Amino acid sequence: QLAPLPPMTPAFLKTLNSVCQQCYRDFAPDEVELGVREHILLDLESFVKRQFTGARLRLFGSSKNGFGFKQSDLDICMVLDGQETAEGLDCISIIESLARLLRKHPGLRNILPITTAKVPIVKFYHARTGLEGDISLYNTLALHNTRLLASYAAIDPRVKMLCYVTKVFAKLCDIGDASRGSLSSYGFTLMVLFYLQQRNPPVIPVLQEIYDQEEKPEVLVDGWNVYFYDDLDKLPERWQQRNVESVGALWLGLLQFYTETFDFREHVISIRQSAALTTFNKQWTSKYIVIEDPFDLNHNLGAGLSRRMTNFIMKAFINGRRVFGTAVKAYPPEYTSHMEFF
Ligand code: 3AT
Ligand code: MG
């Protein structure tokens, strides 16, 4: 049980709000930086076409979902014209020959094929911009979840701001790197979106539950339904925004939600439906942090977390709640050691 905190003051909330807004301004890439990414993509595509004639490259992840940082990696998916899915393709040998080809590209360094992972990729370093990137094949669900995240980002500016704050928080607390055993950016973004859907009144709707027809349309990709309502111009006819909280209040609310309100043992973090989903229903009771992918319903983003890492993440949230939720000028050092930046 957490100790009660002194009441929040309006002045502190105002400061907190401007810190959150500043975080977005400081870290969001501008038009030029986004253009650079598109430029690299086109250059790589024409280079790859020398050997793979029908190749098409597409950006996904944070270059496209609205929550990118200046230094975020370039997530690229390659598909071949006339080939709908990866079925029948030898992805590993394609990745290996793609790596051999990319080694001849004058602007790239550190080409590294990784063929043992669930999704085989070839990693690269783009020397002129200092950006890292990877190319995967037919990572089609990722293209769709990128589009879903981008739609949520477009509904309300507070979505983006809160996702930036959370990503910065996660990086500073060392809890946001899946390759080192913690949670991916994607996982944290799903946590933010879920919270914004659960807020009363909600800040965002559940796009996968809105449809114009009698029944929910079915758009199958790799066996999963990737349908969601993406006609955002018409969204106001279907869903009215009633939440007027500031980003600062929402950030504090998020820390409170995940430290006080949300029952991790009982419930799944799931952005595809508004009704509660239980860990029991999903048979995902062995993990504490359970995050369901919005499309691949067999995929738990928290599956790779050790007990130790889970504790570390929860402690970061509890510390965050104290730091951002206590209206005093100076914090005792044990609260701030995690987050010198703020
Ligand atoms: P960064 O700004 O790069 O940290 P990101 O959203 O690009 O944030 P990643 O580079 O880790 O995140 O991942 C790129 C995309 O790959 C995001 C999502 O579409 C997909 N993805 C990443 N991790 C998973 C996962 N565990 N399950 C399903 N899709 C994932
Ligand atoms: Mg990325």
Q: What is the pLDDT of residues 302-313, one digit of tens each?
A: 999 999 999 999
Among 80-84, 157-161, 312-316, the range scoring the smallest mean pLDDT is 80-84
- pLDDT for 117 beyond 90: no
pLDDT at res. 27: 94
Q: Is 182 in the pocket of ligand 1 (CB under 6 A)?
A: no
Q: Which ligand is nearest to the CA of 136?
A: 1
Residues 6+ apart with CB under 8 A from 294: 145, 148, 190, 208, 228, 270, 271, 272
Q: Is 320 in the pocket of ligand 1 (CB under 6 A)?
A: no
Structure tokens at 65: 């979902």
pLDDT at res. 311: 96
Is-cis flag, bond preceding 201, omega within 30? yes
- 175-178's contacts with Cβ under 8 Å and 24+ in sequence apart are 175/309, 175/312, 175/313, 175/316, 178/304
- pLDDT for 5 beyond 90: no
Half-sphere exposure of residue 208: CA atoms within 13 angstroms, side-chain side: 23
Nearest of 137, 134, 116 to residue 125 by alpha carbon: 134
For residues 302 and 181, give the distance between their C-alpha atoms in angstroms, rounded to a whole number: 10
CA-nearest residue for atom 17, ligand 1, is: 61
Asked if the interface predicted TM-score (ipTM) of this complex is over 0.90, the answer is yes
CA-nearest residue for atom 29, ligand 1, is: 142
Atom of ligand 1 nearest to the CA of 145: 19
- pLDDT for 329 beyond 80: no
Under the banding of pLDDT at 50, 70 and 90, the label for residue 9 is confident
Nearest of 112, 75, 117, 120 to residue 93 by alpha carbon: 120
Under the banding of pLDDT at 50, 70 and 90, the label for residue 341 is very low
Q: Is 132 in the pocket of ligand 1 (CB under 6 A)?
A: no
Q: Is 142 in the pocket of ligand 1 (CB under 6 A)?
A: yes
Mean pLDDT along residues 53-72: 95
Where do the structural domains in the chain lie, given as residue ranges?
Answer: 10-26+151-336, 31-142
Report the topology of domain 31-142. Answer: Beta Polymerase; domain 2 (3.30.460)
pLDDT at res. 339: 46
Residue type, 187: G
CA-nearest residue for atom 14, ligand 1, is: 61
CA-nearest residue for atom 22, ligand 1, is: 186
pLDDT at res. 331: 53
Among 9-13, 26-30, 102-106, the range scoring the smallest mean pLDDT is 9-13
- pLDDT for 159 beyond 80: yes
Q: What percent of the chain has pLDDT over 90?
A: 87
CA-nearest residue for atom 13, ligand 1, is: 61
Answer yes or no: CATH 1.10.1410.10 is held by domain 10-26+151-336. Answer: yes
- 240-245's contacts with Cβ under 8 Å and 24+ in sequence apart are 241/156, 241/203, 242/201, 243/199, 243/201, 243/202, 243/203, 245/158, 245/199, 245/203
Under 8 Å between Cβ of 74 and 64: no
Mean pLDDT along residues 216-237: 97
Tens digit of each residue's pLDDT (9 = 90 or more) over 243-294: 999 999 999 999 999 999 999 999 999 999 999 999 999 999 999 999 999 9
pLDDT at res. 58: 97
The pTM is what? Answer: 0.94
Under 8 Å between Cβ of 75 and 142: yes
Under the banding of pLDDT at 50, 70 and 90, the label for residue 150 is very high
For residues 342 and 332, give the distance between their C-alpha atoms in angstroms, rounded to a whole number: 14
For residues 86 and 190, give the distance between their C-alpha atoms in angstroms, rounded to a whole number: 27
- pLDDT for 328 beyond 80: no
For residues 329 and 83, give the distance between their C-alpha atoms in angstroms, rounded to a whole number: 60
CA of 195 to the centre of ligand 1 (A): 19
The chain-wide mean pLDDT, for the chain, equals: 93
CA of 73 to the centre of ligand 2 (A): 5
For residues 98 and 332, give the distance between their C-alpha atoms in angstroms, rounded to a whole number: 53
The two counts, helices (H) then strands (E), for the chain are 11, 9
pLDDT at res. 326: 81
- pLDDT for 330 beyond 70: no
- Using a 10 angstrom Cβ sphere, with 0-12 exposed, 13-18 middle and 19 or more buried, the burial of residue 101 is middle
